[in-house]
Chains A and B, each alone.
Chain A
Amino acid sequence: MIKVYTSSVIDASADAVWAHIRDFNGLPKWHPAIAESRIEGNWPADRVGCIRNFQLRDGGTIREQLLSLSDYDYQCTYSILESPMGVDNYIATLKLTPVTDGNRTFAEWSAEFDPPPGQERKLADSIGQGVFQTGFDSLKSYFGHR
């Protein structure tokens, strides 16, 4: 089991950032690596248990299931059901916390998973930097940052 943790500061209120990222089907709106997404079975995107099925820009397909969603804590948790990465037991959490000093947002994105043997470093980097940090960079440029 390895853990990946990435955090950043976004120059907008937690309410504003949450409104932008809360939609479990909304990754293509804000994450540059995601081409298109749909929710399976026509479920609402904020129904816990729903499955998003999305295409990466480089062609892979990933299915992820929403495990928890909290508007009170600005937090969602999801697991990977299928992906080209070959990871097992993948659970990720995306969480926002208000920074009262400056009305900004502290954003954390973390994951725990079992990588294929020998792929630990590569996957930790591609998820921590390629997925999470890339997403934060996109949010920072969307909201503008100091």
Chain B
Amino acid sequence: MQRVTRSAVIDAPIERVWEVLRDFNSHDRWHPAVAESHIENGEASDQVGCVRNFRLRDGAHIREQLIALSDTEHVSTYCILDATVPLQRYVATLQLKPVTDGNRTFWHWQSTFDTPPGREAELADMVGRGVYEAGFEALRRHLRQGGDRQPRSAAAGATRAAEGRGGEMTGQAVILKAFGGSDQLAFDNISVPAPGPREVRIRQAAAGVNYIDVYIARGEYRMLEPPAPLGMEAAGTVLDVGAEVHDLLPGDLMAYACGRPGAYATLRTLPADQVVPVPSGIEAETAAALLFKGLTAEYLLHRTHTVRAGETILVHAAAGGVGTFLCQWGEHLGARVIGTVGSDEKARMARDNGCDVPIVSPDHRFAGAVKAATGGRGVDVVFDGLGRQAEHENYESLASTGHWISFGHTTGALPPLDPGLQSAKSLRLSRPVLFHYTDDPVRLRAMAANVFAMLQRGVLRVTVRHRFPLSAAAAALDALESRQTTGSIILVT
């Protein structure tokens, strides 16, 4: 009896590899030796007992039966029923295991069979090299080219389409010409380089519009030097990846909300450890509307302060992007949420999103109402995105030993807090920045997973009410600055 064993490591997550290999009839799409294959009697290709009937490119004809399939063990076992090649009592088992160190896949492929006397070495070599080793290389190529993400009829064309990639590509982007307002934005062509080592190139479907984009455009946050493309967050599908990227493949839906500006674009190449996978079932537009603001709510509620049931928190712009998420998630954590808004309509929206006490205060005079709502005590935490104009009111709103978290400044930068005032209430003051939390790729992925899980559980609810074409980014920024919008604003490509 002959035994042939071959094994390899595939640079792709196990789910992606298994999706191809569990389909007993997929081999004519990825294995170069297989010319044509079909499942007999119209059975499903994951039906244990089904028979695949295929021809090899060298003319051989083989019928194989699936005799075991396990989605938990990632095992497929099959045997040859009849073949024009002399492999007798051939039984093969293909098994995948996750390489947790790097999110890759170990693939083990083994068979036993008998051969006519004298042909042992020749046939063992044909199976080991011609089928298994060639198969490893072919599947790698198939995944790299996104062949598993093409409809069956287009699979053959995937190779040709992929050959167009790999080099520099031309995209469009919204360029900030000089620091200033939305009038400094221009829509122009950009060249997008092929991904280098540890980089990924993404065809972007949607970009999120955030208040930080306004600060960056004004030059208040010097995160770019004009002329340069604007925008912090986007979602889209992977086009190609550079060397040393093991866990991303063409066709994967990804999102990002950190790193350098440049998200207002149709195409982008960026470091692979800055992007996070978007779970299936979540669309690109939703991810682009969610991630930056969701990550912000995540670190504010779980990392800068660990909000506990029974605490009272104050959220400003409670009907805005981050404010809405702080209300929804804060309520879910069992906090009592007091929110400030600019109009009665926004007060209704805030209430619908978990804000227990909406306070309408377009002039940022809310401390009296906060005191009244807390029996004179004040709140445990202020999530302060307002800054200078609301400084006194925020101070007055805080309970003794409260936590003042300044993470934005829509009314101007918050001046340094007088130490005397701080000690008068034993206040804790935090001035967190999202990017310090997302710097660590492992923590970034954990935070993003937390955000997407909250979306899937219905705790976070995304309402995209404002959708602008990418070329109209200036109008989108104007709308955000006007304070007339509610929910999320996105640009679509």
Chain A residues with a Cβ under 8 A of chain B: 5-9, 97-102, 104, 106, 108, 128, 133, 136
Question: Which of these, B6, B104, B108, contacts A9 with CB under 8 Å?
Answer: B104
Give 6 closest A-B pairs by Cβ, nearest first: A101-B8, A8-B101, A106-B106, A100-B6, A7-B100, A99-B7
Determine how close the nearest CB of chain B comes to the CB of A96; give it in whole angstroms. Answer: 11
A106 touches B100 (CB 8 A): no
A-B contact pairs, 28 of them (CB 8 A): A5-B98, A6-B101, A7-B99, A7-B100, A7-B101, A8-B100, A8-B101, A9-B9, A9-B101, A9-B104, A97-B7, A97-B106, A98-B7, A99-B8, A100-B5, A100-B6, A100-B7, A101-B6, A101-B9, A101-B136, A102-B8, A102-B9, A106-B9, A106-B97, A108-B97, A133-B100, A133-B101, A136-B101
- From known contacts A97-B108, A99-B106, A101-B136, infer whether A7 and B9 are also in contact, taking CB-CB under 8 Å: no
B133 touches A (CB below 8 Å): yes
Q: Within the assembled complex, what's the spacing in Å between the Cα atoms of A100 and B109?
A: 10
The digit string for B403-425, where 1 denotes a CB below 8 A from any CB of A, is 00000000000000000000000
Give the bracket for the number of chain B residues in contact with chain A: 10 to 19
Interface centre among B6, B98, B100, B106 (most CB of A within 10 A): B100
Cα-based distance from A76 to B99 in the complex (angstroms): 19
Nearest residue, chain B, Cβ from A137: B101
Inter-chain CA distance A133–B101, complex, in Å, is 8
Considering only residues 1-21 of chain B, those with a C-beta below 8 Å from chain A are: 5-9
- Enumerate chain B residues within 8 angstroms of A5, measured Cβ to Cβ: 98, 100
Interface of B is mostly: strand
Determine if B98 and A106 form an interchain contact, defined as CB atoms under 8 angstroms apart: no
Q: Contacting B106 at CB < 8 Å: which of A6, A7, A128, A136?
A: A7
- Bound Cα distance A136, B8 (Å): 18
A101 touches B106 (CB 8 A): no
Neighbouring A residues of B106 by C-beta, 8 Å? 7, 9, 97, 99, 106
In the assembled complex, the Cα of A102 lies from the Cα of B104 at a distance in Å of 16
Cross-chain contact B8 with A7 (CB below 8 angstroms): no
Show the binding face of B for A, using Cβ within 8 Å: 5-9, 97-102, 104, 106, 108, 133, 136
Q: Is the CB of A7 within 8 A of B98?
A: yes
- Separation of A6 and B401 alpha carbons in the complex (Å): 44
Q: What CA separation (Å) do A83 and B33 show in the bound complex?
A: 54
The answer for the CA separation of A6 and B5 in the assembled complex, in Å, is: 23
What is the distance, in angstroms, from B186's C-beta to the closest C-beta of chain A?
A: 44
**Chain B hits for A104, CB < 8 A:** 9
Report A-chain residues with C-beta under 8 Å of the C-beta of B108.
Answer: 97
8 Å CB contact of B99 from A9, A100, A101, A128:
A9
CA distance A7 to B103 in the complex (A): 10
Complex: how many Å from CA A98 to CA B107? 11
- Cα distance A113–B194 in the bound complex, in angstroms: 47
By beta carbon, the residue of chain A nearest B137 is: A101
Choice from A8, A106, A108, A136 contacting B7 with Cβ under 8 Å? A106
From A8, which residue of chain B is reached at the shortest CB distance? Answer: B101
Minimum CB–CB distance for B339 against chain A, Å:
32
Chain B residues with CB below 8 A from A108, complex form? 97
Q: Which residues of B contact A97 (CB under 8 A)?
A: 7, 106, 108
Chain A residues with CB under 8 A of B9: 9, 99, 101-102, 104, 106
Smallest CB separation, A55 vs chain B (Å): 27
The docked-state distance in angstroms from the alpha carbon of A97 to that of B6 is: 11
Q: Give the chain B neighbours of A133 by CB distance below 8 A.
A: 100-101
Chain A minimum-CB-distance residue to B109: A100
Q: For A6, A7, A97, which residue has the most chain B Cβ atoms within 10 angstroms?
A: A7
Residue in chain B with minimal CB distance to A128: B100
| Residue contact A8 to B99, C-beta cutoff 8 Å | yes
Complexed CA–CA distance, A99 and B106 (Å): 8
Q: How far is the CB of B306 from chain A (nearest CB, A)?
A: 16
User: Which residues of A sit under 8 angstroms from B97, Cβ to Cβ?
Assistant: 7, 106, 108
Bound state CA distance, A97 and B5, in angstroms? 11
Whole-angstrom distance between the Cβ of B179 and the nearest chain A Cβ: 44
Cβ of A101: which chain B residues have Cβ within 8 Å of it? Answer: 6-9, 133, 136
Chain A residues, CB < 8 A from B100: 5-8, 128, 133
Expressed in whole angstroms, the Cα–Cα distance for A128 and B100 within the complex equals: 10
Are A106's CB and B101's CB within 8 A?
A: no
Measured in the bound complex, the distance between the Cα atoms of B100 and A79 in whole Å is 23
Minimum C-beta distance from A60 to chain B (A): 25
Measured CB to CB, the nearest residue on chain A to B99 is A7
Chain A residue contacts of B133, Cβ below 8 A? 101
CA distance A106 to B97 in the complex (A): 10
A130 to chain B, nearest CB (A): 14
Residues of B within 8 A of A9 (CB): 9, 99, 101-102, 104, 106
**Least distance between A13 CB and chain B CB atoms (Å):** 13
Q: How far is the CB of B285 from chain A (nearest CB, A)?
A: 33
**By the criterion CB–CB under 8 Å, are A106 and B99 in contact?**
yes
Q: From residue B450, how far is it (CB to closest CB) to chain A in Å?
A: 14
A98 CA / B133 CA spacing, docked (Å): 14
A100 and B9 alpha carbons, distance in the complex (Å): 9
Whole-angstrom distance between the Cβ of B489 and the nearest chain A Cβ: 37
B373 vs chain A, min Cβ distance (A): 35
In whole angstroms, how far apart are the Cα atoms of A75 and B8 in the complex?
19
Residues of chain A within 8 A (CB-CB) of B5 are: 100
Taking A7-B99, A101-B136, A133-B100 as given, write out 12 further A-B residue pairs in contact, using a Cβ cutoff of 8 Å, ordered by the A residue number. A5-B98, A8-B102, A9-B99, A9-B102, A9-B104, A97-B7, A102-B9, A106-B7, A106-B9, A106-B97, A108-B97, A128-B100
Report the nearest A residue to B8, measured CB to CB: A101
A97 and B101 alpha carbons, distance in the complex (Å): 15
Nearest-CB residue, chain B, relative to A98: B7
B119 to chain A, nearest CB (A): 22
Chain A min CB distance to B302 (Å):
15
B98 contacts across to A, CB distance below 8 A: 5, 7
Q: Given known contacts A7-B106, A9-B106, is B8 in contact with A100 (CB within 8 Å)?
A: yes
